[in-house]
Chain A
Amino acid sequence: MTFLSHLITGLSLGSIYAIIALGYTMVYGIAKMLNFAHGDVIMVGAYVCFFAVTGFALPPLVGILLAIILCTILGVVIERLAYKPLRQAASLTVLITAIGVSYFLQNGAQILWSASPKSFPTNFFNIGESKGITLFDGGLTISYVAIVTILLCLVIMAALTFFTGKTKMGKAMRACSENKAASQLMGINVNSTISMTFAIGSALAAVAGVLMCSAYPTLMPTTGALPGIKAFTAAVFGGIGSIPGAFIGGILLGLIETFTKAYITTNLSDAVVFAVLIIVLLVKPAGLLGKYVPEKV
């Protein structure tokens, strides 16, 4: 029974990583850059929702929508101001800029909202007074947050797969991620496609922020940093640039982390996660689903 309970915790943590990793991987796929500020957008989303609900007494759903809208705008603005001018620059320059944006957001949050932790409301997904479903005469409780997180992750994954596979905009995104000059020759506006990708990634970050803080309610300016790095790891794990890869990577990471905490030791959970990453990359350098397409010339 405890195994089942750990499994569900792992799946739901993994789903959060997966939602964040999807944003990472999409942005990487198209802009070929690691947006290390992605994790901090999560934190901003959580703060927005927190203040909307606790400060302005808005209903949770409105708070979540506000977080999504503001994070989408934030993501697009970050891209325009910080990354777009560096489109032709060396990748190292862009990487350092992304780290800079990350600190900028963290420090900005510290100034605006202070460094002292806030306690995020955990009752968003409660039904009445109940926090979750109790099974086996109280032997196993599955929280509604966990259920919503896992389901939402599946829905997002399916929606993104449909979007990139079937819609015109989604196909244009794949085209841009592969060859920008050729995409322009097709009449695709590469800049607006990149903006669109940042918008989607940042909206997902807001969702992840609210879900994560509903399960782990300590909210402070550095809240997004570690999950951001973990989700990046998950994206690399699954094969960066691949959407199903980010999903599988995220879920596996959540499971490994939770089981390590449960059965080995809490102190080593991150070390085990990264050890597994290193082993996977030794065997499959492109990640689990990173694909190698033979090119004929």
Chain B
Amino acid sequence: MATMLKVNDINVFYGAIHAVKGVSFEVNEGEVVTLIGANGAGKTTILNTVAGLLHTRTGTIDFNNIHLGHFPAHKILPLGLALVPEGRQIFQQMTVEENLEMGAYTRPKNEISDSLEDIFNRFPRLKERRKQIAGTLSGGEQQMVAMGRAMMSKPKLLMLDEPSMGLAPILVDQIFDIIQELHAAGTTILLVEQNAQMALSVADRGYVLETGKIVATGTGHELLEDEAVKKAYLGG
């Protein structure tokens, strides 16, 4: 399996706050990899850095052997790296369809309608509401818009930041079903979650973060069985 994303010893700061301390990990093609950890462990910071919204002070990030350096975010997406950000961040005042179109902003116009159909097949709910203003949708539907929007760019690597946040348990199950479907369809996924149980059960591999450092790593199964991980993140 070829390495798709290679994060090597990165340090990220918010002003004087050292948020990510020498983190290294990699995501191989076709894998689902999860980063788990408590609030403030640095998970979102890592994803935002890979996506180009934040930049490293030291360390390197390579995607398909391209050195990302300090690329701005709008130049990273076209490489095939999409992020569904924390809190969804959909365009509240635009329609569902416009949100999805924005996801395909960097793609040629003639390819958009096919992708739109794909998304509507996967999320029939969004098709019914395609002309509705996205801000009026329910939380679960908004998460679908956010995921559909990211998928519109046909990413090679899809990064999901807390897709289950604030959703009812039945919707969390739905979102994880979709993640597994995308995985089965060949999309490589980097998943950040507080819901460690769910995340590890769909992941090939996982990394456990604590206050900006990776403290454990293993397959999803291994981490689910790990006593320390169980105690800290799995409620037992």
Does the CB pair A293–B135 fall under 8 Å? yes
Does the CB pair B137–A190 fall under 8 Å? no
Does the CB pair B138–A296 fall under 8 Å? yes
Q: Which residue of A lies closest to B99 (CB)?
A: A175
In angstroms, Cα B82 to Cα A126, docked, is 57
Q: Can you name 26 A-B pairs with beta carbons within 8 Å?
A: A168-B105, A171-B98, A172-B102, A174-B94, A174-B98, A178-B91, A181-B53, A182-B85, A182-B89, A183-B102, A184-B52, A184-B72, A185-B51, A185-B85, A185-B150, A186-B102, A187-B77, A187-B106, A190-B74, A291-B93, A294-B136, A295-B92, A296-B136, A296-B138, A296-B139, A296-B142
Which residues of the other chain, B, contact A181 by a CB distance below 8 angstroms?
A: 53, 73, 85, 89
Chain B residues with CB under 8 Å of chain A are 51-53, 72-75, 77-78, 82-83, 85, 87, 89-94, 98, 101-103, 105-106, 109, 133, 135-139, 142, 149-150, 153, 166
Q: Which of A182-228 contact B (CB under 8 A)?
A: 182-190
Contact of A296 among B94, B137, B149, B153 (CB under 8 A): B137
Does the CB pair A187–B89 fall under 8 Å? no
Q: Which residue of B lies closest to A192 (CB)?
A: B74
User: How far does the Cβ of A171 sit from chain B's closest Cβ, in whole Å?
Assistant: 6
Given contacts A179-B91, A293-B133, A297-B139, contact A184 B98 (CB under 8 A): no
Q: Which residue of B lies closest to A190 (CB)?
A: B74
Question: CB-defined interface of A136-171 with B at 8 Å, one 1/0 digit per residue?
Answer: 000000000000000000000000000000001001
Q: Which residue of B lies closest to A177 (CB)?
A: B93
User: How far does the Cβ of A186 sit from chain B's closest Cβ, in whole Å?
Assistant: 5
Interface size of A as a range: 20 to 34
10 residue pairs, one from A and one from B, having the closest CB atoms: A187-B106, A184-B73, A187-B77, A182-B89, A293-B135, A186-B105, A186-B102, A189-B74, A184-B74, A187-B105
Q: Which residue of A lies closest to B141 (CB)?
A: A296
Given contacts A293-B133, A296-B136, contact A187 B78 (CB under 8 A): yes
Which residues of the other chain, A, contact B150 by a CB distance below 8 angstroms?
A: 185
In angstroms, Cα B90 to Cα A189, docked, is 17
In angstroms, Cα B90 to Cα A297, docked, is 11
Does the CB pair A185–B77 fall under 8 Å? yes
Which residues of the other chain, B, contact A190 by a CB distance below 8 angstroms?
A: 74
Chain A residues with CB under 8 Å of chain B are 168, 171-172, 174-175, 178-179, 181-190, 291, 293-297
In angstroms, Cα B102 to Cα A178, docked, is 13
In angstroms, Cα B75 to Cα A291, docked, is 33
Which residues of the other chain, B, contact A187 by a CB distance below 8 angstroms?
A: 74-75, 77-78, 105-106, 153
Which residues of the other chain, A, contact B74 by a CB distance below 8 angstroms?
A: 184, 186-190
Which residues of the other chain, A, contact B137 by a CB distance below 8 angstroms?
A: 296
Q: Which residue of A lies closest to B84 (CB)?
A: A185
Which residues of the other chain, A, contact B72 by a CB distance below 8 angstroms?
A: 184, 189
User: How far does the Cβ of B77 sit from chain A's closest Cβ, in whole Å?
Assistant: 4
Q: Which residue of B lies closest to A182 (CB)?
A: B89
User: How far does the Cβ of B141 sit from chain A's closest Cβ, in whole Å?
Assistant: 9
User: How far does the Cβ of A33 sit from chain B's closest Cβ, in whole Å?
Assistant: 19
Which residues of the other chain, A, contact B78 by a CB distance below 8 angstroms?
A: 187
User: How far does the Cβ of A3 sit from chain B's closest Cβ, in whole Å?
Assistant: 40
Name, among A168, A186, A294, A297, the residue most crowded by chain B CB atoms within 10 Å (CB to CB). Answer: A186
Does the CB pair A185–B136 fall under 8 Å? no
Which residues of the other chain, B, contact A296 by a CB distance below 8 angstroms?
A: 135-139, 142
Name, among B53, B73, B135, B149, the residue most crowded by chain A CB atoms within 10 Å (CB to CB). Answer: B73
Which residues of the other chain, A, contact B87 by a CB distance below 8 angstroms?
A: 297
User: How far does the Cβ of B110 sit from chain A's closest Cβ, in whole Å?
Assistant: 13
User: How far does the Cβ of B146 sit from chain A's closest Cβ, in whole Å?
Assistant: 9
Besides the contacts A187-B77, A190-B74, A297-B87, what 16 more A-B pairs have beta carbons closer than 8 Å? A168-B101, A171-B101, A172-B102, A172-B105, A181-B89, A183-B102, A185-B53, A185-B85, A186-B105, A187-B106, A188-B105, A189-B74, A295-B92, A296-B139, A296-B142, A297-B166
